[in-house]
Every structure is written in C-alpha cells, then in structure tokens.
Amino acid sequence: MSGLLIDAEACVGCGRCVRACASGGIVVEGERPNRCAHVTDSCILCGSCVDACPVGALSIERDEARTDIDPSAYHDIWVFAQTDAAGAVLPVAFELLGRARELAAQRECRVIAVLGEASNADDAAANALVAHGADEVLRCQDDRLATNDSGVFAHWICALAREYRPEVILYGATDFGRELAPGIAVRLQTGLTADCTVLEIDEKTGLLHQTRPAFGGNLMATIMCPAHRPQMATVRPGIFCAPEADANRTGKVTDVELDAAVASRVRVVEHIPADSQASIAEAKRLLVLGRGIGSKKNLPVMRRLAELLGAEIGCTRPLVEAGWLEYRHQVGQTGVSVAPELLISLGVSGAIQHLAGISGAQTVVAVNEDADAPIFNAAQYAVVGDCVEVAQRLIAQLEAR
Amino acid sequence: MRIIACVKAVPSSTEVKMDPKTNTIVRDGKQAVINPFDATALECALQACEALANQGADVTVTALSMGIPATADLLRDCVARGADSGVLLSDRAFAGADTLATCYALTLGIEHIGNPDLIVCGKMAVDGDTAQIGPELAGAFNIPCVTDVSEIREVASDHIVVTHVTDEGHDVVEIPLPAVITVGKDVAQLRMPSIAGVLAAEDASIEVLTAADAGADPARCGLAGSPTQVVRSFVPERTHDCTYIGGDIDTQVHALANLLKEMN
Amino acid sequence: MTQIKPLGAEFEEYLRDESRSVGSAQTISFPTCEDEIRSVLRKLYPAGTPITVQGSRTGLAGGAVPAGGHVMNLSRACSYLGLRRDDAGVFYLRVQPGVVLSELRKHLTNKSIPTHGWDTASLLALDELYAGPEQFFPTDPTEASACLGGMAACNASGARSYAYGPMRGHVSALRVALANGDVLSLRRGEVRSHGRRLSLKTESGALLELDLPTYQMPHTKNASGYYVENDMDAIDLFIGSDGTLGVICELELALMPVPAVTWGVNCFFGTEDAAIAFVDAARPVLERAAAMEYFDAEALDILRQQREASTAFSALPKLDAHYAYCVYVELEADSQKEATSELARLGELLEAHDGSRYDTWVARTDVDRESQRFFRHAIPESVNMLIDERRRTFPTITKLGSDMSVPDDRLADVIALYRSSLAEAGLESAAWGHIGNNHLHVNILPRNDADYAAGKKLFLKWAAKVTEMGGAVSAEHGVGKIKRDFLTVMYGKEHIAQMASLKAQLDPRAQLGRGNLFAPETADAARKEAE
C-alpha cells in the first residue's frame, strides 16, 4: 500500500511536519516520549513534511508501478522543432538539440527532430535541424501543420510516437509548446515535466532526471518517469546553449504523413503582433530613474543609455509628479510592479514604496551618490557615484564597442 | 448549457526557506486559498454565463475541485460568488497525484457533472507551476483547447471567440464548443460575494465524490496512477549580497560596462 | 558615527512630504540609533539650528517638511529592540522610530521579527509570542509605509480607530531626546501631572517643571495640538506633539491578538441620506464593527474614471452604475459562525435603510481584503494624481483636505454644512473617511488659483463651525504646518501662546519642528519670554 510512512522510532515529535503541511494531513499526538506524528485523511502526499523532517522519520512509499510498458522497446531522443509564422525553426529547438546530443552521446542513441510545416516549405528548416545536431528529421509538409494548432500537432505527434516509440521527447516551453505537450502526454498516458532547467540521463536505464522549479522558483524538484514512455519534458528558451550550426553534418530527412481524418477546429480570426511600445511591467530590461538624475534636461542622456541597453524607461514617483515622465513609467507601490531580468537604477534612493514595486527584478544594478541609500539593500551590484556622470561615461563606452 | 470552472486550493504563500538548524525545507503550511489563476477562471465562467443568459440560454456554472475535505469550504465560497454548484473529488486514493492522475480524476468529475459546453481553467497553479491540467483535460476529451487566454471576446451557444497569447504576439481565435480554455491572471478579477451570496452559500450543499463514487480505476488515481515521481526537492541557492563596484569613476564605469556585457 | 551632510540635490526629496509642500534645509543626517540622534542634537544645540524630524514622510500636514536648518531623517533607525510580556499576557515590542508599519505587520504575520542584539529575556518572550495566537498592532493609517515614530508623533489613527482608538493607547513607553541631547524615559502609568502641572526628570537628572495649557479638548476623535488634561499621563503629552517637544528615539508598542475572523463589507447606497441613516442605525447595533468608512459619489466617480484610464488601476473592482455612495464596515468576530450572524444582521440593517444585501462586497479572504484596501487607497492616490496634473498649469495649488471631526449627534449636520457650502462656493470636491467617528476628509479639488483661495477660506469657516459643534479641526493628521491656522480658530490665540510657552520649556531654543502647530514667530516670542 502506497502512502506516507512514519518511522515512530525515529520521530521526535518536533512538529515541523505539522507546520509544513498546508492541508492538515499530519498531526503530532501523544505525551513524550511517545509523542509521534500521525497521518490524517487530509494527506495529499505532497512531500512537504518529508522535506521538513529533521530526523528523516518520514517517507513516501509507492507500490511498484504496474504498466504493460517495456522501456527497452523505446529508443532515441526526440526534439519537437517549433517554427515561427515564417517557417523558421525557433532558437529553443536548436538549444534542445544541443542538450539532446549530449544526452544521446551518453545513452548511445540518436537525436531525432520532429518538424511540421507548410506543404510548400523548402528544405531550409530540416537542413538547419541537421546542422544543429539532428541525426534524422521526421518531417511532415502539410498545410494543416502550417500554423501552430495544438490539436492537429498533438494527433500527428501521437501517431508518430506510437509508431516509432521514442524514449524521450523534449519540447520548448514556449506558449505553443506548453499547450501542445500536455495534450500529447494525456493521449499517450505518460508523464510530462514542465519547465525543466536541468536534464540528465542515466546511461544504463535511460531514465531522465528532470529538474524544475516549483513554488514560483522557491523550490527545485528533480522528477523521473520510471515506468512510462516516452519520458517528456518542456524546457524554457534560453536554458541550454544552442550549438554552432555545422553545415557539413549529415542527417536523414524522412517525410511522414498526417492522418487525412485530422482537421483543425480552431479558426484564427486575427493575428496581433507583439506590442511595439512594450509596457514596463513586461520589460526584460529596465532603466529606472530617480530624482538623483537632477534635472529634466538630463532625460535625453538617459534615453540614449536606455536605447543602447535595449531597456525600457521607468522612474520613481517624484519624476512623474514633476511632469518629467508620464505615469505609465512610474515604478512602485502606486505605479507599476516590474519584474525585469535586469534593472538598472539611477539616482533612486529606494523609498519603501518604490522597493515594493521592484521586488520581482532578477538583477538590480544601482547607482547613487549616497552610499547608505536603501536602494543598495535591494541591489546585487552597487556603484556609489553621480549617476549622470556614470550614465554619460557608460554611453561613451557602449558606443565605442 | 453547462460551464465548469476547475479550481485548486493552494497554500496562501509560496515562500520556501531552508531551516538553517536542521537543513530541511520549510514550507509554511498556511491557510489554503483558491489558486489566483483559478479565481480568474471562475470569474470568466461567471461572465460567460451572464453573457449566455442574456442571449436567453439556460446556463449553469459548476466549480470543480480535487482536494482534501476542507476544500469544500473553498467551493462554498465559489457558490457565494455566483457559481450554481460545487463538486469536490476527495479521497485518500487521489493523494499524491501528478498532472496526469489529477487530470484523470477531474475527467471523472466532469463526466459526473455531465455534458460540459465550456471548461475554464486557470493557466497554471502557483504551487506546481505546470500549466498542464487545461490542455490535458482537452486532450482527454479530445476537444479543442486554447491556453493563456487574455480576453474573451464573444460567447455563443456553439462557439467562443477569444484572444490568447502566442509566441509571436496574440491571436484572436474562434473555437467550437465544447472546448477548454485556460486564462491568465489579468483577464478578469474575481468578484467579491454579496451578503446575500454569502448567506445563501451557507445553506448550499457541496457534492463530495470519493474515488468509488466517481467510478475511478484505483490504478490510475493518486500516487499509483502518476507516471512522474519527485525524487528530490531542494531550495535553490541565491545570493542577495550586494557587490560594491569601487575605484575611480573610470574603473567603475568600465566594470559596469563589462557586467552589462556579460548579462547580454 | 553619523554624519551631518550638506543637503544637496541628491537629498532634495527630503524637503517634502506627502502634503506636497516643499521646504528648505541646509543639512541632513540619518541617525541609526539613540546615541547618534543625541550626538546630532548636541552638535546643533549650541547654534540653535532648527531641526525637523522625519520618518517616512507620509504625513499630510507638512509636519516633516523642513523650515530651514537641519533635517533629521529617522528612517534608518529601524531596528527591533526587544520584547516583553506582562502578567496579563500582553506583549510589548520595543522598536526604533524608523520601523515601518507595513514591515512590522509583515514580521508579525510571518513570525520573522529581526532579533539582532536581543537579550535572553526578549528572545524567550518571542518564543512565547510565536507559540501563541498571532498578534498585531491595531493602528492602521491608510498609508502603511508610515513609520512608527511618525505615527506616534502625530497620534495616528486609521479606519480601525473606530474600535481601537488612535495610536496613543497602544504606546506603553517612549524614549524622547530633548533638543539639548538629554533624554526622557516615559512609561505609561509612571508619571502623572497634578492638575495642569507636570514634573519630569530627565535621565541626566535635570528637573523640568511644566505648566500645561488650560484648554479643554473636544470629546471627539482629536489630533489637534498638545494632549492636555488634568492629572494626565506624562507620555500622552509627547504622543501627538508633532515633533515639537522632542525626538522619539524608541517606542514600546502594546500588541493585541489578531481577531479570529475579520470580514470587510462595502455597502452601496443610492443617496447620501440613506448612507448616513444607515451609519446612525448601525453604530449601536453592530457591536463588533472595527471600522466604518465612507466614500461619497464624487470619490466613487473618480475611481470609475481611474479604472478605465490607467492600467495601474484596472484591478479595481468594478462599480455597478447604480452604486453612488459607499459605507465600508469591518466586522470582527471570534468565529465564522458569529461573523455570519453579524453579517446577516448587517444585511437586515441595509434592507431597512434603502440599501440591499445584494449591493455589497464581502471580503473574507486576503485577496478580497487586499482588493478593498486597494479600493480605499486608490481614492486619495487618484485625487493626488489629478491635482498633480492641475499643478502643471497652476503650480501654487495643492489638494485641500479637511480632517475635522464632530460628536456623534452632529454627523448629519456637519455633512449638510459641507454640502451646502461647497455648492454655494461652486467647488469641486470628493469626500471620504471615517464616518463611524463622524470624521470625513472632505477634499476640495481646486481647478485654478481662485478655487484654491476659495477652498482655503471655506476650510477656515468650517474650522469655526466644527469647533462650535464641539468638534476638532484635526482629528488624525495632526496640525503640522498646514493646519495651524485652524488650531488658532479652535483654541484661540491665548491657548496657542500657552502651547508655545510649554514648548519653550522643553525646547528652549525653539529648534524642533519649527512651524508645526504654531508659526515660528509664536515659538520665538515664547522663547524670548522664557528667557
């Protein structure tokens, strides 16, 4: 019988498991020295208590999985090659090919790219996949695959997977990949691990160790899919490095069919291209200006710096109040909360109301004259100095490059 | 017509810390709340219901969840806010489910409710972050699915028109019903209940289904029915220390330029 | 060693506060502890340099806006110092003045109070605190980024003051540095005045014999001028003294257990009369109401516009077209069951006063409470944005916000006064605030310089009328610099002079908080007289 096991001998009755449990699934009862944890009907086997136990008294046991699947019948690593509207393969597919090659080398298997595209497409995409590491490309040129329709693609890939039996399928965790992969997982009745940041393979068993963040990145979990095939994972763009294209690499391109009965059920009414005037809430890079920039006449300097950095401009409240910038630029509790990968803060002292709005930033670089400014408590990199001068010299350096 | 909103109870805080004394992971088990994305899903379901009712259709909204018995309170809250009924799948057998086993249980719940025209899910849950349940449900029923919907433009008795996020911007798409959509957080804000709603929900009964009630195959439920297994969890290391870039201004700017280049 | 730095362009923001008025100063310091505060004071004492003490600069009366001289900003004196528990089981937390309310709340909720440098007794008390039911500090000014020192300096209130009173009652001890660097240690219950005569001994042994002003304070919510009463507790003189008597170096806060259940309810009405009648009827009936707040039609309309106009406000809950006036009631209860029956009672009251159980928003979850908080907070925020916009054309105008309170039986009268005189003067306005305490913030939104002048005149008229009704000219914001003329209207010149001479006894060179409560000249005159 699977479930949460409590080693009464090891349990010290400290109660950490109770505090860790969000569902009331465990209680600590009894008088010392017989005080011990007990599982309740509310246990959801999430494992929080196992992680929290300081003495290793808790474990989750599971019965040997019973499936009819013979893992040894499955082989090769597949990479789903998503294309854009123009038919070009997305960089994330090359990144996956790069990692798949390394895994395949350990496992001594092949890397196969799966490519669906319009009927009039040329060989460019398939060739690019080979050049980036595919040993074979399973290609279907069919107008039903010309647009990213998750229903059509799911039917097609499921049919291929049933026929070819891949050991692993990797997908980019793009918007489309995240819509497509679960539909395949449920149809093939197999596991799917989302947004992996680390992929490793056991060269003997072929078991894929998939590590991913959960709880908004506050917790990492390593996940395996021991008894079901294919093992499937999605990976965010930018996690792995794409290998250099090698035009001399050779690989096979196999054209495959899409079942005639499959039809799209989604009608695209309108494409709306990505917004050119991006909102600062979604900006990847942000230059945030504070009163320390001194005067409105320094704004052009800051705009130039932002341009060179490819950053959007945000600011603190006083600048909006002074009419230097519009409200949509205001970052903070009363403005916009931002979560850029890089935030460069110039002349911002870091009032608590402002800091509340930048807590989502991954890396904060702050420049301020006051070495004790609270902004530095929120920064990973600090420069104490006149932000206007720093900006001007930085522009000179960046322009020189 | 029948609209089903799938909701999940999640911890109110997703903060995770390392206990420095015991070197164990501390997830503070706070009160369960409705997953914020699912709150939006419920609001979308209620708005779709109002739109259809205005067209003269007879529509109901059912909130569906899988969870511990206490999750019934969460469903009661959904009823207070306007859902017509709540159904809870609750059984020890469902415990430890990964997305596939969860999808299986929800599928049974949906079949029990019967004939859904529209299934609305949150884009993802803030504890698991997998974003898989919506598209898996669509796959299980072999009905169309649109994920990460940012706007519901039109709801009719046989189709809906929605805008959703794609890798190249947004697409406005029309899909026939029945269908599954998953919604982003900013699409709509879940309405607060009125006093009348809260008092009425006090008397509403939430239907609780065990695995047996739902006719579940034990081998496909919970831990036993989950292809994936968590073999290890750990708290990622983070550096919060601030590095001061010293020296004269030229040195500082040079170091800064290099730093920015590295981040490119 | 804390530095007195020249106040250059990089510190320009420290010349202003949330009142939007701008002052001037030559130097600034950021002391981080009592010793540093005292060292700065001792340095500035010989020359009699004016000193304006600041916290988070969230005040609305200009109390933290410097009037020349030195700015002492205490936002970096933000440590948690210790904890004790008395025999009755009450926890008392000692903090530095720069601790921010929102941080304090977060630490209490997350059980994460920083304990650097704490003694064993404090750490033991902390274990008890964390083991028991969650505790909170009840004073809740709308601006949670206020700091505790500033809140004590102006005797802050907030929505929950309806049930819990202002900050005063929740401060059990203060350490106050005087202008010469000497320190008063004040603990509630230890030193009382005899009639209106108060003797205080400083830590260095100096004896201060103080004559307290002779006025009677109104029997309403009040933050106007020094708190004086016969046989009063010495600590109360310093709470609400607007930074004019000394510098708060340390506070001890009395904590309370969090109520088991807190539900917020926005109730909407079609007319103002219905809303007022509901409040009058609800006050005696809803015994567990912690707050009763009000938002008038103009305030709700501003929110409607803001919600459409700005993405930052698109998360505001949608207001139905027929929602014209809103009364927000916060209910506390010991159990869900009790809360539900109180809610049912509230529903019945609404049905009896032209409201409806359907036209309500009930917040029982953190997310919904946050929605309601955002709703309440968005109104002043939006009004400020509107005024900022207008200031670009008319730089001299500011928002004119009233802060007056009257006794319970004059609520309808004072609202009638506001409505008739606003209509007569043809001024744009938006009103909101603490209707449970008969304390509304009527905000005049000047469209030009003439409106601004007319609004100021109107406020002086209201100050006189509210005083006649037995009310207070500043119920919670403090007097600061912006409302000192009203204080004269309320107490008269003679009593103002008494306040100034009390100040001169504690601050002989008239350095602290110049321009707060009374004009600098008044303080200087009192100082000369004392000499």
Same domain (yes/no): C341, C359? yes
pLDDT tens digits for range C278-290: 999 999 999 999 9
Tokens of A124: 């460019």
Residues B5-14, mean pLDDT to the nearest whole number: 86
Task: Determine whether the interchain pair C11/A335 forms a contact, defined as Cβ–Cβ distance below 8 Å.
Answer: no
Closest CA to A280 of A340, A367, A360, A324: A340
Residues A175-201, mean pLDDT to the nearest whole number: 95
Residues of C in contact with A388 (CB under 8 A): none
Confidence (pLDDT) at B19? 65
Same domain (yes/no): C269, C375? yes
Is the pLDDT reported for residue B15 higher than 70? no
* C25 CA to centre of own chain: 25
Question: 3-state SS of C387-420?
Answer: HHHHHCCCCCCCCEECEEECCHHHHHHHHHHHHH
Out of A357-371, C134-148, C218-232, least confident range: A357-371
Tokens of B79: 């009823």
Q: How confident is the model at residue B29 (pLDDT cuts 50, 70, 90)?
A: low
Asked, as a colleague might, if the bond just before A33 is cis with ω within 30 of 0, I would say: yes
Q: How confident is the model at residue A19 (pLDDT cuts 50, 70, 90)?
A: confident
**In whole angstroms, what is the distance from residue A205 CA to residue A225 CA?**
12
**In whole angstroms, what is the distance from residue B249 CA to residue C357 CA?**
65
Question: Checking phi first, is residue C181 left (phi over 0); if not, alpha (psi -120 to 50) or beta?
Answer: left
* C442 CA to centre of own chain: 16
Cα R_g (chain C), whole angstroms: 23
Confidence (pLDDT) at C124? 96
Is the pLDDT reported for residue A35 higher than 80? yes
Residue B218 distance to chain A (closest CA, Å): 12
Pairs across A and C, CB distance < 8 A: 47
**Is C76 within 8 Å of chain A by CB?**
yes
Residues A197-220, mean pLDDT to the nearest whole number: 86
pLDDT tens digits for range C495-520: 999 999 999 999 999 999 999 999 99
Out of A106-120, A153-167, C139-153, least confident range: C139-153
- Domain membership flag for residue C209: yes
**DSSP 8-state class, residue A215:** G
pLDDT > 90: percent of chain C: 85
Same domain (yes/no): C350, C429? no
pLDDT tens digits for range C32-90: 999 999 999 999 999 999 999 999 999 989 999 999 999 999 999 999 999 999 999 99
Confidence (pLDDT) at C154? 93
| CATH number (domain holding residue C269) | 3.30.70.2190
Task: Determine whether the interchain pair A309/B260 forms a contact, defined as Cβ–Cβ distance below 8 Å.
Answer: yes
Task: Determine whether the interchain pair C310/A327 forms a contact, defined as Cβ–Cβ distance below 8 Å.
Answer: yes
Q: How far is CA C209 from CA C246, C338, C504, in A?
A: 16, 52, 12
- Of C222, C257, C292, the domain-final residue: C257
What residues of A are in the C interface, CB distance below 8 Å? 279, 281, 291-292, 294, 318, 320-321, 323, 327-328, 330, 333-336, 347, 349, 351-353, 368-370, 372, 374
- Domain membership flag for residue C407: yes
Residues C102-117, mean pLDDT to the nearest whole number: 92
Task: Give the residue with greater pLDDT, B202 vs A33.
Answer: B202
DSSP three-state, residue A2: coil
Nearest chain A residue to B11 by CA distance is A22
Same domain (yes/no): C352, C416? no
Q: For residues C4 and C43, is the Cβ–Cβ distance under 8 A?
A: yes
Confidence (pLDDT) at B244? 87
Handedness of CA A27, A30, A35, A36 (dihedral sign): negative
- Domain membership flag for residue C236: yes
pLDDT tens digits for range B163-198: 999 988 899 999 999 999 999 887 899 999 999 999
Which DSSP string do the residues of C166-204 spell out, in sequence order?
A: -GGGGEEEEEEE-TTS-EEEEETTT-B-BTTEEEEE-TT
Length of chain A: 401
Tokens of B177: 């019903």
Helix/strand/coil percent split, chain A, to 5: 30, 25, 45
Q: For residues B19 and A16, is the Cβ–Cβ distance under 8 A?
A: yes
Out of A94-103, B117-126, C1-10, C135-144, least confident range: C1-10
- Give the pTM: 0.83
DSSP three-state, residue C318: coil
Residues of C in contact with B28 (CB under 8 A): 110
Confidence (pLDDT) at A2? 66
The set of residues, in sequence order, having a beta carbon less than 8 Å from that of C436 and lying 6+ positions away, is C162, C279, C283, C289, C291, C292, C293
Confidence (pLDDT) at B126? 82
Confidence (pLDDT) at A166? 98
| CATH number (domain holding residue C469) | 3.30.70.2740
Q: How confident is the model at residue C377 (pLDDT cuts 50, 70, 90)?
A: confident
Task: Determine whether the interchain pair C347/B196 forms a contact, defined as Cβ–Cβ distance below 8 Å.
Answer: yes
Residues B92-115, mean pLDDT to the nearest whole number: 95
Confidence (pLDDT) at B18? 62
Task: Determine whether the interchain pair C311/A336 forms a contact, defined as Cβ–Cβ distance below 8 Å.
Answer: yes
Is the pLDDT reported for residue B82 higher than 70? yes
Same domain (yes/no): C372, C415? no
Is the pLDDT reported for residue A333 higher than 80? no
Q: For residues A181 and A170, is the Cβ–Cβ distance under 8 A?
A: no
Q: What one-letter code names the amino acid at A42?
A: S
Confidence (pLDDT) at A275? 63
Task: Determine whether the interchain pair C317/B197 forms a contact, defined as Cβ–Cβ distance below 8 Å.
Answer: no
**In whole angstroms, what is the distance from residue A376 CA to residue A384 CA?**
9
Pairs across B and C, CB distance < 8 A: 63
Residues B252-259, mean pLDDT to the nearest whole number: 88
**In whole angstroms, what is the distance from residue C235 CA to residue C192 CA?**
9
pLDDT tens digits for range C328-363: 999 999 999 999 999 999 999 999 999 999 999 999
DSSP three-state, residue B154: strand
Task: Determine whether the interchain pair C10/A291 forms a contact, defined as Cβ–Cβ distance below 8 Å.
Answer: yes
What residues of B are in the C interface, CB distance below 8 Å? 12, 28, 33-34, 36, 39, 77, 80, 186, 189-199, 202
- Of C325, C354, C381, the domain-final residue: C381
Q: For residues A222 and A160, is the Cβ–Cβ distance under 8 A?
A: no
Same domain (yes/no): C240, C115? yes
Residues of C in contact with B199 (CB under 8 A): 340, 343-344, 347, 357
* A251 CA to centre of own chain: 29
Confidence (pLDDT) at C424? 96
pLDDT tens digits for range A342-362: 999 999 988 877 887 887 788
Confidence (pLDDT) at A66? 64
Q: How far is CA C222 from CA C17, C415, C514, in A?
A: 22, 18, 22
Is the pLDDT reported for residue B264 higher than 70? no
Q: For residues A279 and A169, is the Cβ–Cβ distance under 8 A?
A: no
Task: Determine whether the interchain pair C315/B189 forms a contact, defined as Cβ–Cβ distance below 8 Å.
Answer: yes
Q: For residues C267 and C278, is the Cβ–Cβ distance under 8 A?
A: yes
Task: Determine whether the interchain pair C381/A334 forms a contact, defined as Cβ–Cβ distance below 8 Å.
Answer: yes
Please, what is the Cα angle at A230 between A219 and A151, to 5 degrees? 90
**In whole angstroms, what is the distance from residue C176 CA to residue C235 CA?**
10
Q: How confident is the model at residue B112 (pLDDT cuts 50, 70, 90)?
A: very high
Same domain (yes/no): C296, C359? yes
Strands C261-269 and C325-333: antiparallel
Is the pLDDT reported for residue A36 higher than 80? yes
* A77 CA to centre of own chain: 20
Residue C201 distance to chain A (closest CA, Å): 36
β partners of residue A203: none
If 0-12 CB within 10 Å is exposed, 13-18 middle and 19+ buried, where does residue C487 land? Answer: buried
The set of residues, in sequence order, having a beta carbon less than 8 Å from that of C352 and lying 6+ positions away, is C281
Strands B32-34 and B9-11: antiparallel
Confidence (pLDDT) at B16? 64
Task: Give the residue with greater pLDDT, A42 vs C452.
Answer: C452
Range of A9-13, B246-250, C300-304 with top mean pLDDT: C300-304
Please, what is the Cα angle at C316 between C312 and C317, to 5 degrees? 160
Q: How far is CA C85 from CA B232, C119, C167, in A?
A: 42, 14, 20
Name the CATH code of domain B2-233 (choices 3.40.140.10, 3.30.390.10, 3.40.50.970, 3.40.50.620).
3.40.50.620
pLDDT > 90: percent of chain A: 60
Nearest to C360 among B33, B189, B195 (CB): B195
Please, what is the average pLDDT of chain A? Answer: 90
Edge-to-edge strand ranges of the sheet holding B159-166? A267-273, B169-176, B159-166, B145-155, B179-183, B118-122, B2-6, B60-66, B85-89, B207-209
Closest CA to C251 of C98, C91, C475: C98
Residues C412-418, mean pLDDT to the nearest whole number: 97
Tokens of B179: 């269908």
Residues of C in contact with A351 (CB under 8 A): 13, 56, 145
Residues of C in contact with B77 (CB under 8 A): 364-365
Q: For residues C317 and C265, is the Cβ–Cβ distance under 8 A?
A: no
Domain membership of residue C418 as a residue range: 393-478
**Is C362 within 8 Å of chain B by CB?**
yes
Closest CA to C490 of C188, C218, C242: C218
Is the pLDDT reported for residue A1 higher than 60? no
Confidence (pLDDT) at B186? 77
Q: How confident is the model at residue A216 (pLDDT cuts 50, 70, 90)?
A: low
CA dihedral C238, C243, C248, C254 (to 10 degrees): 50
**In whole angstroms, what is the distance from residue C141 CA to residue C147 CA?**
10
Tally of domains in chain C: 5
* CA neighbours closer than 13 Å in the CB half-sphere of residue B2: 14
- Domain membership flag for residue C484: no
Q: For residues A332 and A356, is the Cβ–Cβ distance under 8 A?
A: yes
Task: Determine whether the interchain pair C347/B12 forms a contact, defined as Cβ–Cβ distance below 8 Å.
Answer: no
Please, what is the Cα angle at A29 between A26 and A34, to 5 degrees? 125
- Domain membership flag for residue C388: no
Is the pLDDT reported for residue C445 higher than 60? yes
Same domain (yes/no): C58, C192? no
Same domain (yes/no): C213, C301? no
**In whole angstroms, what is the distance from residue A362 CA to residue C7 CA?**
33
Same domain (yes/no): C240, C119? yes
Range of B16-20, B226-230, C194-198 with top mean pLDDT: C194-198
Residue B109 distance to chain A (closest CA, Å): 16
Q: For residues B195 and A300, is the Cβ–Cβ distance under 8 A?
A: no
Q: How confident is the model at residue B260 (pLDDT cuts 50, 70, 90)?
A: confident
Task: Give the residue with greater pLDDT, C161 vs B15.
Answer: C161
Residues of B in contact with C266 (CB under 8 A): 192
Nearest to C347 among B36, B195, B202 (CB): B195
Q: For residues C505 and C207, is the Cβ–Cβ distance under 8 A?
A: no
Please, what is the average pLDDT of chain C? Answer: 94
Which DSSP string do the residues of C42-61 spell out, in sequence order?
A: HHHTTTT--EEEESS---SS
**In whole angstroms, what is the distance from residue A97 CA to residue A103 CA?**
10
ipTM for this model: 0.89
Confidence (pLDDT) at C120? 95
The C residues from 278 to 307 touching A (CB cutoff 8 Å) are none
pLDDT > 70: percent of chain C: 99
Helices (H), chain B: 36-54, 71-80, 99-113, 133-141, 195-203, 249-263
**DSSP 8-state class, residue A10:** T
* Domains of chain A: residue spans and CATH: 3-61 (3.30.70.20), 71-255 (3.40.50.620), 280-400 (3.40.50.1220)
Residue B71 distance to chain C (closest CA, Å): 14
Residues C80-108, mean pLDDT to the nearest whole number: 96
Task: Count Cβ neighbours within 10 Å for each residue of C415-444 and write b for 16 or more, e otherwise.
Answer: bebbeeebeeeebebbbbbbbbbbbbbbbb
Q: Which residue has the tokens 């039917």?
A: A155
* Best C360, C371, C374, C375 residue to mutate vs chain B (most B CBs within 10 Å): C360
Q: How confident is the model at residue B241 (pLDDT cuts 50, 70, 90)?
A: confident
- Domain membership flag for residue C483: no
- Interface chains of chain B (3 or more CB pairs under 8 Å): A, C
**In whole angstroms, what is the distance from residue B53 CA to residue B141 CA?**
26
Residues of C in contact with B196 (CB under 8 A): 347, 356-358, 360
Q: Which residue has the tokens 């007022």?
A: C276
Nearest to B192 among C347, C357, C368 (CB): C368
| CATH number (domain holding residue C110) | 3.30.465.10
pLDDT tens digits for range B141-171: 999 999 999 999 999 999 999 999 998 889 9
Is the pLDDT reported for residue B26 higher than 80? no
Confidence (pLDDT) at C353? 93
Long-range contacts of B210-219 (CB under 8 A, 24+ apart): B210/B90, B210/B91, B210/B93, B211/B89, B211/B91, B211/B93, B211/B94, B211/B105, B212/B91, B213/B112, B214/B89, B214/B105, B214/B108, B214/B109, B214/B112, B215/B108, B216/B91, B216/B93, B216/B104, B216/B105, B216/B108, B218/B93, B219/A66
Q: How confident is the model at residue B11 (pLDDT cuts 50, 70, 90)?
A: confident
Same domain (yes/no): C107, C171? yes
Same domain (yes/no): C96, C139? yes
